[in-house]
Amino acid sequence: MVWYNLKVGSFQVKYTPLNPIEKEYAICDSEGLILEKVKGTYEKAVYLNPNTKEQVSEVFRLINNKPYLKLQKTKEVLNYKEVELNEVEDLLQERVYLVEGDLLLKELLDSGKALKFGFTNGNGFKVYKAYIYPSKIYKGYLFMSLGTTQISEVIKDIAEVKAEKDKMKQIELTLTNINRAKVEDLLEI
């Protein structure tokens, strides 16, 4: 975490970027054996079986100890939840889309809610939390925001780091105020 200084009028502030928490999945073969990536410049990554050193043409991702192919683009959502509209504001937005759907717009305006569901663009293994909600600013429009992380998760991590720093400063302060023993105090000549 890096903090940058900024002066806004007469106010001195510090800011740090809020980055999404990325999930990485190991690359494996169809049996779940984790593969070695060959270093070098290739158009497409090359992977080897670590035991036989043979090149593996079809690779998978190891998720929950099972090999999986790439995800397909979300085209239908059957599993969704209605959530409070303010939950959308806690999403660290990575992508935002304009959504058309008059019936859904009317339903969400009447209920004052948003819809939450899992979504993927079909370009790998990135799964987003998606929220469809009516815009507060642009009346009559729906938006869909995608993200992998809630802002509250990131702030919790930052608060823990700050608390640890404060604890270390307190220990350092305590150590500087302790009287150091001298040889003369410990040994009488």
* pTM flag (> 0.85): no
Domains identified in the chain, total number: 2
Looking at the structure, tell me whether residues 44 and 95 fall in a common domain: no
Residue 168 banded pLDDT, cuts 50, 70, 90: confident
Query: pLDDT tens digits for 113-161?
Result: 999 999 999 877 888 999 999 999 999 999 999 999 999 998 998 888 8
Between 50 and 109, the more confident residue is: 109
Would 187 be classed as within a structural domain?
no
Q: What are phi and psi of 64, to 5 degrees?
A: 55, 40
DSSP structural state of residue 150: B
Say how far apart CA 52 and CA 121 lie, in whole Å: 35
Would 157 be classed as within a structural domain?
no
Query: pLDDT tens digits for 37-90?
Result: 888 766 778 888 888 988 888 888 888 899 988 888 999 999 999 999 999 999
Looking at the structure, tell me whether residues 64 and 89 fall in a common domain: no
Would 172 be classed as within a structural domain?
no
Looking at the structure, tell me whether residues 91 and 142 fall in a common domain: yes
The domain boundary residue, chosen from 117, 132, 147: 147
Distances (CA, A) of 144 to 74, 107, 113, 180: 13, 15, 13, 63
Q: Which residue range(s) make up the domain with 134?
A: 81-147
Would 160 be classed as within a structural domain?
no
Can you tell me the mean pLDDT for 169-176? 67
